[in-house]
């Protein structure tokens, strides 16, 4: 009893290496490049997520280690708040004032630090200092860490997607060049039979 062979799916036909007069090797290679290009966004997303998570974990670990050496202390202003010119980048006006604080205990420090514009003399402000009591920047906020991770992920996605597009384009170009060369060689073989040039000779009769 004869059994009907199940019809092959498109992917199975694509990767079938058996000869097919209507499905040339260049066609299979070209289709594989197209499939690779179609899958490249998914791979780019996976790569972006992996790199973003790696950056997030690195930033979190660094922030935790850095926070061990950042201390929040109360300081007292001993001078009036002076507004600085607007920053060119965002136009925000900030104010600074001479401020004193103690950190570590019994170690007095004096410096001009950023304060709210309406801070009066003798007012209390919060200052972040290092282990030696010197004024320093506050630990990075969670939003800053998240922004860094997202930026790294987006950058990785863009690089991977552009690289994949370039590689696929180069691969398709090479396939096209080889395909045209193959067509040229086959045409040189077929054209004399197709056009009848081989039947023409010195003794052929003129029309």
Taking the chain (207 residues) in runs of 10, the rounded mean pLDDT of each run is: 46 52 68 85 92 94 90 93 71 81 90 89 93 90 91 93 88 80 70 62 49
Secondary element (H or E) of residue 184: helix 142-195
Whether the bond into 104 is cis, omega within 30 of 0: yes
Q: Where are the alpha helices (DSSP H) in 81-134?
A: none
* Residues 168, 33 contacting (CB under 8 angstroms): yes
DSSP designation for 21: T
pLDDT number for residue 174: 85
Phi, psi of 163 (to 5 degrees): -65, -45
Q: For the chain, give every domain's residue range.
A: 25-63+144-194, 71-138
Task: Write down the pTM of the prediction.
Answer: 0.60
User: In this structure, is the dihedral angle defined by the CA atoms of residues 101, 106, 107 and 110, taken in order, positive or negative?
Assistant: positive
pLDDT number for residue 16: 54
pLDDT number for residue 142: 86
Distant-in-sequence, close-in-space partners of 197: CB < 8 Å, separation ≥ 6: 191
pLDDT number for residue 27: 74
């Amino acid at each position: 009893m004869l059994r009907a062979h199940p019809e092959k799916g498109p992917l199975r036909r694509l990767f079938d290496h058996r000869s097919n007069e209507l499905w040339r090797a260049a066609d299979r290679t070209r289709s594989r490049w197209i499939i690779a290009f179609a899958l490249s966004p998914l791979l780019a997303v996976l790569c972006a997520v992996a790199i973003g998570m790696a950056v997030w974990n690195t930033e979190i670990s660094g922030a935790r280690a850095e926070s061990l050496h950042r201390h929040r202390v109360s300081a007292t202003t001993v001078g009036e708040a002076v507004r600085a010119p607007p920053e060119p980048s965002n136009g925000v006006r900030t104010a600074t004032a001479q401020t004193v604080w103690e950190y570590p205990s019994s170690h007095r420090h004096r410096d001009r630090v950023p304060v709210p514009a309406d801070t009066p003399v003798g007012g209390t402000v919060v200052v972040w200092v290092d282990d030696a009591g010197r004024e320093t920047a506050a630990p990075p906020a969670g939003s800053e860490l998240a922004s860094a991770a997202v930026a790294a992920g987006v950058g990785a996605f863009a690089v991977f997607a552009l690289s994949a597009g370039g590689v696929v384009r180069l691969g398709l170009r090479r396939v096209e060049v080889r395909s045209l060369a193959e067509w040229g060689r086959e045409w040189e073989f077929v054209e004399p039979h197709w056009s009848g040039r081989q039947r023409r000779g010195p003794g052929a009769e003129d029309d």
